[in-house]
Amino acid sequence: MADLLPGTLEVLVLKALSLEPMHGWGIGHRIDQLSKDVFNVRQGSLYPALQRMLRKGWIRSEWRTSEAGRRARYYLLTAAGKKQLQAETAVWQRASAAIDGILRLRMAD
């Protein structure tokens, strides 16, 4: 298990929400699943991040009834959020390709 790189949590949340609207626990659960438990996400730290993203306008929220019949707050990706996800994805892919290349070079040494 590794700590998250700074700024990664938001990308992961955006990615999770790009599949479907979810409540907080769902988002955490989905990130765990997707990352195959590689990252150690403190579930509680999701909420300050969600609040920041609300303010940035990447996501919006609404109260719905959960599968279990309880009142729950669901988060949805906005158009700005989708754009943000694309941009972040592109950056990540370029960066990881570069890092990948560098690491490969070292191995060859």
Partner 1 sequence: MLTDLVERVRALVFGRRWSRDLSDEMRFHVDQDVAARVRAGADPATARREALLAFGGVERFQEETRDSTGVRPLQDLTADVRFALRSLRRNPGFTATATGVLAIAIGATAAVFCVVHAVLLADLPYPHPDRLVRIYNQNSPTNIWSLSVVDVQALREDHRSFDTFGALRFASFALSGAGEPEQLRGARVSSGFFSGLGVHAEFGRLTSPSDEASGAPPVVVVTDDFARSHFGTAPGAVGKTLNLDGVPSSIVGVLPRGVDDLAGFRSPVWASLKLPIPTRRGPFGYVGIARLKPGVTPAEAGQELRALAGRVFTQWQASFQDQNARYSAFELQRTIIGDSDRQLTLFAGAVVLVLLVAIANVATLMLVRGTARAHELAVRATLGASRPRLARLVIAECLVLTAGATVAGLGLAALAVRGIGSIAPDLPRADAIAVDLPTILVAIGVGIGAGLLISISPVAGVLRGSLAEWKSDARRSGGTREAHTIRGILVAAEFALAVPLLLAAALLGSSFLRLQEVDPGYNPDRGFSIALNLPASRYPDSLSVVAFWRNAMTRVTETPGVLAAGLTTSPPPDNGGDVNNFNLLAHPVANGRAEPVAPWPIVSPGFFKALDLSLLEGRLITDADTGATSPVIVVSRSWANHYFPNEPVIGQRLISGGCTTCPADVVVGVVGDVKYEGLAGSGEGVYTPFVLNGVIRNATLIVRTSASPESFMKPVTEALRGLDPQIPLAATPLRRGLRQALADPGRWTSILGAFAVTALGLSAIGIFGLMSYVVRRQRREIGVRLALGAEPRRIAGMIVGRGMRYVAAGTLVGLGLALLEARWIGALLYGVAPRDPTIILSVTVLLVGAALVACLLPGIRAARIRPLEAIAAD
User: Environment class of residue 78 by beta-carbon count within 10 Å: exposed (0-12), middle (13-18) or buried (19+)?
Assistant: middle
Looking at the DSSP bridge assignments, the partners of residue 73 are 63
Q: Residue 26, SS3?
A: helix
Q: Which is nearer to partner 1, 62 or 109 (CB)?
A: 62
Record the tokens describing residue 44, joined without a space. Answer: 């509680």
- In the window 4-33, what residues touch partner 1 (CB under 8 A)? 23-26, 28-29
- Among the listed ranges 7-15, 41-49, 89-97, 99-107, the one in contact with partner 1 (CB under 8 A) is 41-49
Q: How far is the CB of 5 from partner 1 (least distance, A)?
A: 18
- Among the listed ranges 2-10, 12-20, 70-78, 89-97, the one in contact with partner 1 (CB under 8 A) is 70-78
